[in-house]
Structure 1
Amino acid sequence: MVKSSFVLALTVLSLFSSQLYSAKCETDTIKRNIFHSEKQDKQEVNKINKDYIIRVKKRASDIKLDGLINEDDWRKGEIINLSHMVLPYDTGQATARSEVMMTYDEKAFYLAFIFHDTVPGKRPVESLRRDFVFTNNDNFSIYIDPFNDQTTGYSFGISASGAQRDGSISNGNVNNLMWDCKWQSVIKNFGDRWTGEVRIPFKSIRYKTGVDHWGIQISRNDMKLNEKSAWAPVPRQFATATLSYAGQLLWETPPRRSGLRLTFIPYLNSSISQNIENGENPKYKYNFGLDSKIGLSTSLNLDLTYNPDFSQAEVDDQVTNLDRFELYFPEKRQFFLENSDLFGSFGTDNIRPFFSRRVGLDAPVLAGARLSGKIGRDWRLGLMDMQTEKEGNLLVRNFFVASFQKKVFARSNVGGVFVNKEQINAPLDWQDGNKYNRIVGLEYNLASRDNFLNSKFFAQKSFTSGKMTSEEYTQGINFAYSRKSHLLEMEELYVGRDYNAEAGYVPRKDYLKVNPKATFNFFPKNGLLEYHGFSTEVVNFYSPWNMELIERQISANYFLQFKNRAHLVIINELNYLVLQKDYDPTNNGKYYLPAESSYKWYKFALSFTSDNSKLFKYLIHSGYGGYYNGERWIVEGNLNYRVQPYGYISLVYSYNNLILPAPWNHSGLWLVGTKLDMTFTDKLFFSTYIQYNQQINNININARFQWRYKPVSDLFIVYTDNYFPEYMVEKNRALVLKISYWFN
């Protein structure tokens, strides 16, 4: 696997050469009006909402993106109405009138909309920041399925303040908002309506050429009405991004190939940092790097990176860690995000053979390549090769991932993954177990056409140099059956004692888990409630060797959803635990409960989320009950006040009062974080995050300024500081300046 980078590079050169030839021939082909003569894609359209069709014609004149909807092409085209209510009910007509129009040309897809108000007053918006939260803003969203596979696609949205939102869709409805691309939009606000125009270049997305229909869904969120509406009807238990419920966009002639898509994103970086705690002098660093995107076809993309820098990534939210296992923090680095499900969705939440945050965790990334996308109608392919630099005692390491998905039936697929982490130029006397670690996995994802049934079956085997046992594997089964009135779930997982995924996320091993869960909803016709119901769950962990119960959690919760979107949950839990290792319940590492000791306790909690259409909103969670050999009282939540459309200030708090016997005695752990997020315009952003974590004895200050001076081209200034809380003695600090530009 040491040579995997060179093999991938040769493959890339071959594909790139063929693409140049293909681009040269394309002009002559288009002149012959190829799309009227070539064989059309005969793939079956989505049957659920097959009668929801919009026929889109090519524009006859120029369209000026000004949000005014005054061009002839808008008046001459079909107009669709977002007449179906999704929330608070999915059986009625939307109260607000919403009209959407579409057209296109050789280079881009255009949309226009007119959203009428039924309730006077300001339209609620959170800020001007990109990738806003759908439920916190009056907004318009479109979801497209260019491959008609009801599994992968893209989302684009605009808030009533003009903020943009874009994401890539995987697994039928999972919307990853960390993905970005170039597109344009303009909105106009009037007293009784707001309007907008959108232009999405075909080169910004992946699609299959020669296809005369795409899946499409359009949605509006009206917070003054607390109403979400859609063009094609969607059962309320599903997100409107659920592609199996999309309607059909029928092109007058299919979008042509967008030509050679070649993007370069160079960056320059300078920084100064100082580790005061270790008595070090300030260190100055200047750096440069390059990201590149090459569209090998309209559905297959190659990403290359050299000396990448991720200093502008948003800081993680700190938490008080009272868990016995490693915590999970999501990936935020742009390079890893497109088609990320091809690499990171194998297995299940706590059994991932590959977790991209392992790459570059303890050593800088030198270079990498990623090939991902669609091949033909039913195949998806992912190849990734990343190499880190030598750092201290850590050798150069190579991370290689190969995966595939083959569509079967309407929405199901079979997939496989291979992960290799390898030490480069390891000495001959290097200790066994450290030279390489490999994972091979297979899985079957079963999804019914109507999305009511979703199941996964997977198995993975690890290989570590110098080690071979019968317990180096894991397997699992997930099952979920969802209807409006109930959700039935079942999970069975096994992780062997010696299963080893060094490039993955597997916080716990050596167990068999059996986890049934049921949720029931009731929908009253009158009153303040939109719905209410209860859920019950049993989580059992067994020792695989003797099937002895080592952990059990039984929960019975009641929830109430109010028509104004406020939400109340009443939580009851019974816990039983046999420790498999010595454990400190405060996670301070001083005193430990012994392995093989057992504990039982009960916990009661309340959680309330307020109406998020108000300028001031809040979340409060409080609970009390047993905790190992003592008791625990917890109060946590979030207070948020927005100054629309310029941003918000929020306070996140958590207090854990641990009442334990000697030698721990009484222990109170505070975590407080305050965040100021300001968006002066849709191109100028500033955020400051101050976090105090008593458990790790640290105060962190992170300030981040961003100027998007061109589309997807940014200037960042990031300042980070860490202090000892007692006397505000400084630990370390850093100042980073980074500028990048998107050439395409």
Structure 2
Amino acid sequence: MQPGKLTLLLLCFCLAGSSALAQKKNANYQYHIKRATAAIKIDGVDDESDWQRADSAASFFLVLPMDTSFANVKTTVKMTYDNNNLYVVAICYKGKLKGQNMVESLKRDFNFVKNDNFLLFMDPFDARTDGFSFGANAAGAQWDGTMYEGGKVDLSWDNKWSSEVKNYPDRWIWEASIPFKSIRYKKGIREWGINFSRNDLKSTEKSAWAPVPRQFPTASLAYTGTLVWDEEPPVASSNVSVIPYALAGLTKDYQAKTSTDWRTDIGGDVKVGLTSSLNLDMTVNPDFSQVDVDQQVINLNRYELFFPEKRQFFLENGDLFANFGYADIRPFFSRRIGLNAPIRFGTRLTGKIDKNWRVGVMDVQTGQSGSNNLPGQNFGVLTLQRRVFSRSNIGVMFINKDATGSAPNTGSTAAAYNRTIGLEYNLASSNNLWTGKLLGLKSFSPGVTGHDYVQAAHLQYLSKYWQLYLQQQYVGHNYNAEVGYVPRVGYNKLSPLLLRNFFPKSGSVLVHTLQLSSSYFFDEHYKRTDNESTLSYIITFHNRSQLWFSGVDTYVKLLRPYDPTNTGKAMLPIGFESHWNTADVQFISKPQSVFTYVFETAYGGYYADGTKLTLSSQLGYRFQPYVNIAVNASYNDLRLPQPYGHNKFWLIGPRTDVTFTNSLYFTTFVQYNEQARNMNINTRLQWRYKPASDLFVVYGDNSIPSPFSVKNRQLTVKWTYWWNI
């Protein structure tokens, strides 16, 4: 079937799925919130009179291991509010199994799977598409994030709020105060979407107040209940935050043999709540030295790798910008901004206009870079999203990149602009069983016409027993998104997936899963260039451990010269064909243990009739709740004909997180990459001396491991303060 006809077929299914089942699934699950009559002290003790008279949300439903009964481990939630804050208390009772709570550490934004925790999912517009999440693990480590795409949580978002956890012999209690200034909502709306989630590792129970089918996360906004206010939620009269920073640091480049570079800098951000649901962010001379370093990988890929955005300025409502398109067709990728040139200032307007409309506007100006011969550049992005049917939406995006001067070394202003315009329709049925997308993009660059557009679509059905997925893509060879992430152009792609779950009635196995997936690539004339098909058998045990068996069939016809070792050796020529098979086995341990691990072994063919053996592992050990040690390691053994020969690549990345308290953290991350001949050390001490206000001490260096020599070193001390006006 040709892609055009397939897209038309997917469109028909998307439109049919959108109009069905418009009623909110859990509309009858209601929590009635009452205004507090006295002050609430955040101490993990629910002894205030307002807690005694507040309604209770209890009788949680099981989600895992099966969604067919109430949870055995009891949870009770209460809520109240005053003019400034929303208050939540969660009483998490312990089950029959004795022993300490299972947590990794006191570090913020913990791993959900590896911690006893309680989470709140909040949808202030009851639109079932986006919202906020707050919570904590049983040791008091906080969790906060923005929600997008109906059930995903971006934990990079950070805001000002407070909470406390107190442990008792038979329960632990989480009490929180969330300022109305920290969330976005519309004045006058008295019914919000709400759900509560509990993860208890000893009993292996995951539960939710409003029931959620086991194939979906408890964060799924399609299954929220309703928070009913006794009066309109308060609207803060002033919502302006000023977040300045000051830093001092030094850098030494040993390879260039330059003198030590001393640096002092100031800058900051301003957040202005134009309305209770629309936010203006401004930044001047931003600094991101405290951001986590990227996790390295052994790169045996023919195309550019993707690394996620971690800079705070780009994160709030970031899904409006970052999630337009697909993972491999992103018209906008904020890490292109400030990559090789400093950001001078930026402005973002994001949020909801009403229940149906979301808007995002961004403008960022970078400075000139002499070392990279780049002129100053201006990046402008406009995106608008309209909700349709029950949970679907239509979005438009326009991206503009303009040079604001000439390159410092050459004075050239050639190819000074690049623009992209896009339109997409996102399907999400009211019960989340049907999801899909239709996407169209067109780029504009000087002197380029024809084959400069993208057309893509997919449709998915996801139930307890079946997952059916079909995706189609076309990317023209002249499509050019300079501010996007599109690693490959000039192709047609077809990707089907079929999955079936089988649930035994007894025994240690919870579910058997068979999965078949494929990706077929064709050139623009529909001639096959490469494909990969995978057949997997997955065993999931009641204790949440998993065993995977996979067989992979791969065919590649090179469209450009390629070194299969990615080490600068001779290139295989255009048109070179290779076909091989791979066997893969993976085991994921149960998350309840203080020692957790993932082991994977893959062996099979490779380019030019070679072979590839891959061994990888992820090991974790926790000294609860203060120390968490993790080690990622991989070994690749490539045996190829000359001139490549025998190549061995180790990647080892030990990481230690020490959380002295839930406001004082120390992290050390070491990465040894044999392929890149680099060893990186990054250490960070963070003291959160007030909510959302920090002092950072960050040290980093890069070295050549053998023979050992230092490339560069950096030390930075940075102070930030969050000031609500």
Q: TM-score, normalised by structure 1?
A: 0.93
Q: In structure 2, what is the equivalent of residue 198 of structure 1?
A: 176
Where do residues 565-584 of structure 1 align in structure 2 (5 Å cutoff)? 565-584=544-563
Q: In structure 2, what is the equivalent of residue 183 of structure 1?
A: 161
Q: In structure 2, what is the equivalent of residue 309 of structure 1?
A: 287
Q: In structure 1, what is the equivalent of residue 144 of structure 2?
A: 166
Distance 2:286 2:452 in 1: 34
Alignment check: 8 A CA contact 2:589 2:597 kept = yes
Secondary structure of the corresponding residue to residue 122 of structure 1: coil
Instruction: Encode CA deviations 1:367-392: one digit per residue, 9 max, x unaligned.
Output: 00000001123111100000111011
Q: In structure 1, what is the equivalent of residue 629 of structure 2?
A: 649
Q: Which moved more, 1:525-534 or 1:322-331?
A: 525-534
Q: In structure 2, what is the equivalent of residue 79 of structure 1?
A: 56
Distance 1:243 1:262 in 2: 29
The one of 226, 229, 247 equivalent to 2:225 is 247
Where do residues 631-646 of structure 1 align in structure 2 (5 Å cutoff)? 631-646=611-626
Which amino acid is the alignment partner of residue 584 of structure 1? D
C-alpha displacement of 1:625: 0.1
Where do residues 339-488 of structure 1 align in structure 2 (5 Å cutoff)? 339-392=317-370, 393-426=373-406, 434-465=415-446, 467-488=447-468
Distance 1:341 1:115 in 2: 32
Report the CA distance shift for 1:519/1:689 in structure 2 as closer, same or farther (over 3 A).
same
The one of 683, 703, 709 equivalent to 1:723 is 703
The one of 592, 597, 609 equivalent to 2:588 is 609
Matched, 1:62 2:14: no
The Cα RMSD (Å) is 1.4
Which amino acid is the alignment partner of residue 453 of structure 2? Y
Matched, 1:496 2:476: yes
Q: In structure 1, what is the equivalent of residue 94 of structure 2?
A: 117
Alignment check: 8 A CA contact 2:191 2:227 kept = yes
C-alpha displacement of 1:716: 0.5
Distance 1:73 1:683 in 2: 29
Matched, 1:292 2:292: no
Instruction: Encode CA deviations 1:648-692: one digit per residue, 9 max, x unaligned.
Output: 111111100001011111110111111111100011100111111
Where do residues 81-100 of structure 1 align in structure 2 (5 Å cutoff)? 81-100=58-77
Q: In structure 2, what is the equivalent of residue 557 of structure 1?
A: 536
Instruction: Encode CA deviations 1:595-651: one digit per residue, 9 max, x unaligned.
Output: 101110000010111011101010111110001110000001111110110021111
Instruction: Encode CA deviations 1:112-159: one digit per residue, 9 max, x unaligned.
Output: 121111111000001001111111111100000001110010000111
Matched, 1:526 2:506: yes
Alignment check: 8 A CA contact 1:260 1:296 kept = no
Which amino acid is the alignment partner of residue 566 of structure 2? N
The one of 575, 578, 581 equivalent to 1:599 is 578
Secondary structure of the corresponding residue to residue 274 of structure 1: strand
Distance 2:65 2:411 in 1: 62
Distance 1:371 1:412 in 2: 23
C-alpha displacement of 1:259: 1.5
Matched, 1:619 2:598: yes
Distance 1:645 1:589 in 2: 45
Distance 2:382 2:592 in 1: 44
Secondary structure of the corresponding residue to residue 80 of structure 1: coil
Matched, 1:280 2:280: no
Secondary structure of the corresponding residue to residue 79 of structure 1: coil
Instruction: Encode CA deviations 1:481-510: one digit per residue, 9 max, x unaligned.
Output: 110001100100011001000011000110
Secondary structure of the corresponding residue to residue 244 of structure 1: helix
C-alpha displacement of 1:703: 0.7
C-alpha displacement of 1:427: 8.0
Secondary structure of the corresponding residue to residue 210 of structure 1: coil
Q: In structure 1, what is the equivalent of residue 207 of structure 2?
A: 229
Instruction: Encode CA deviations 1:700-735: one digit per residue, 9 max, x unaligned.
Output: 111111011111011111111111111321111010
Q: In structure 2, what is the equivalent of residue 17 of structure 1?
A: none
C-alpha displacement of 1:431: 6.0
C-alpha displacement of 1:106: 1.4
Distance 2:397 2:505 in 1: 49
Distance 1:82 1:131 in 2: 27
Distance 1:82 1:733 in 2: 55
Which amino acid is the alignment partner of residue 571 of structure 1? S
Distance 2:532 2:664 in 1: 47
Q: In structure 1, what is the equivalent of residue 84 of structure 2?
A: 107
C-alpha displacement of 1:257: 1.4
C-alpha displacement of 1:77: 1.6
Alignment check: 8 A CA contact 1:651 1:674 kept = yes
Distance 2:175 2:630 in 1: 32
Secondary structure of the corresponding residue to residue 680 of structure 1: strand
Distance 1:408 1:432 in 2: 43
Which amino acid is the alignment partner of residue 392 of structure 2? S
Which amino acid is the alignment partner of residue 70 of structure 1? D
Distance 1:567 1:660 in 2: 33
Q: In structure 1, what is the equivalent of residue 14 of structure 2?
A: none
Report the CA distance shift for 1:718/1:432 in structure 2 as closer, same or farther (over 3 A).
closer
Distance 1:572 1:427 in 2: 51
Matched, 1:663 2:643: yes
Q: In structure 1, what is the equivalent of residue 663 of structure 2?
A: 683
Alignment check: 8 A CA contact 1:456 1:479 kept = yes
C-alpha displacement of 1:83: 2.1
Distance 1:553 1:435 in 2: 38
Alignment check: 8 A CA contact 2:401 2:483 kept = yes
Secondary structure of the corresponding residue to residue 661 of structure 2: coil
Alignment check: 8 A CA contact 1:120 1:192 kept = no
Distance 1:445 1:150 in 2: 13
Gaps of 5+ in 2: 1-20
Secondary structure of the corresponding residue to residue 86 of structure 1: strand
C-alpha displacement of 1:403: 0.4
State the number of aligned residues. Answer: 699
Distance 2:405 2:604 in 1: 54
Distance 1:482 1:45 in 2: 18
Secondary structure of the corresponding residue to residue 602 of structure 1: strand
Which amino acid is the alignment partner of residue 618 of structure 1? Y
Distance 2:23 2:287 in 1: 42
C-alpha displacement of 1:538: 1.8
Alignment check: 8 A CA contact 1:182 1:711 kept = yes
Q: TM-score, normalised by structure 2?
A: 0.95
Which amino acid is the alignment partner of residue 633 of structure 2? Y
Secondary structure of the corresponding residue to residue 311 of structure 1: coil
Which amino acid is the alignment partner of residue 358 of structure 1? R
Distance 1:459 1:540 in 2: 20
Distance 2:413 2:547 in 1: 53
Which amino acid is the alignment partner of residue 499 of structure 1? Y
Distance 1:83 1:440 in 2: 45
Gaps of 5+ in 1: 1-43
Instruction: Encode CA deviations 1:345-381: one digit per residue, 9 max, x unaligned.
Output: 1110111111011111101100000000011231111
Distance 1:190 1:58 in 2: 28
Distance 1:533 1:363 in 2: 48
Report the CA distance shift for 1:52/1:259 in structure 2 as closer, same or farther (over 3 A).
same
Q: Percent identity?
A: 45
Which amino acid is the alignment partner of residue 500 of structure 2? F
Which amino acid is the alignment partner of residue 50 of structure 1? A
Alignment check: 8 A CA contact 1:352 1:504 kept = yes
Which amino acid is the alignment partner of residue 435 of structure 1? A
Matched, 1:47 2:24: yes
Instruction: Encode CA deviations 1:407-429: one digit per residue, 9 max, x unaligned.
Output: 11111111100001111124899
Which amino acid is the alignment partner of residue 734 of structure 1? Q
Where do residues 258-277 of structure 1 align in structure 2 (5 Å cutoff)? 258-277=236-255
